[in-house]
Amino acid sequence: MAFLSGLSAFPITPADRDGRVDTVALRRLIARLGDAQVDSIGLLGSTGTYIFLSREERRRALAETLEETAGRMPVVVGVGALRTDEAVRLAQDAKALGAAAGLLAAASYTPLTDDEVFEHFSTVARESGLPIIVYDNPGTTHFHFTPALVNRLAKVGGIVAIKNPTNKSDAIKSHLADQRRTLPEGFSIGYSGDWNAAEAMIAGADTWYSVLAGILPEACMMIVRAAQQGDAAEARRIDATLSPLWSLFQEFSSLRVVYALAELLDICRADPPRPILPLPAAAKDRVAAALECLPSDASR
């Protein structure tokens, strides 16, 4: 089995306007994921707004999460930063606190070259000693990992997995087959992009890195378990019940929608970090309507 597999749930990081993490609300979210027995927690991903938080607040969030999970499941934590030295320190913090792995994106204001990204990732892996997951997130970073760069990084000691984006569901199977053929055995291959992730798991991906699972873990767990058991029809059936939310994710961004879901489910009330604004009232009403239409086993 790969180092990381199954469902990795990515919750929001509730915080006030000054960027101070609401640890009570965060622990409530993490407890919900523990109750659902997700395979891992993805703390401080893009949905967890890692890039907006200070090093101190990231440490607080991770420490609270690790205390809440008490070793029941691995915690993957975002360690991305604009500077390599900052990313190294964040990864060292994560390792010292007990994270299972660090999720690292090619975040930059200035467009990066493949060689610059290779050196950035290699340095963080080498100097932190924390297992690193390559976070390919071109929608946010505008950097595209080529197959050649992924192959180079997969040969670096300490780089153990990749979180791929999904765009076209009909291309996932061939993309996964190409990576399986060229990447080392045991290198974990996973996908994000919730509306296409069921197809990725059916195709045999190791991991679904899920935004929705951070707030509605049960439905996502059912999709993953059905796919793992070879029941593609059941995985697709459950996935279809979530299509109203997938449409909202694509229209408004998954980040804004899950903040609204957290409020509607009375889990916590928090706004995304500025300059990101919460959904307007009309859009929130649409999220509430989509939530009402979900079957009972998909709305927990």
Question: How many whole angstroms separate alpha carbon 81 and alpha carbon 116?
Answer: 14
Residue 243, CA distances (Å) to 124, 247, 265, 293, 295 in order: 38, 6, 19, 10, 12
Is the preceding peptide bond at 138 cis, omega within 30 degrees of 0? no
Q: Is 135 annotated in the active site?
A: yes
- Alpha helix stretches (DSSP H) within 106-165: 114-128, 138-141, 147-154
Tokens of 15: 């915080």
CB 226: neighbour CB atoms within 10 A?
21
CB 181: neighbour CB atoms within 10 A?
7
Q: 252 — phi, psi (to 5°)?
A: -110, -10
Active-site option among 50, 135, 191, 209: 135
Using DSSP, state whether 160 is helix, strand or coil: strand
Nearest to 140 by CA among 10, 51, 77, 76: 51
Strand partners, 107: none
Tokens of 123: 């340095």
Question: How many whole angstroms separate alpha carbon 221 and alpha carbon 28?
Answer: 19
Q: Tell how far CA 151 is from the center of its chain.
A: 22
CB 17: neighbour CB atoms within 10 A?
9
Written as one letter, the residue type at 178 is D
Active-site option among 50, 95, 163, 259: 163
Question: How many whole angstroms separate alpha carbon 260 and alpha carbon 109?
Answer: 29
Task: Please identify every residue annotated as catalytic.
Answer: 135, 163
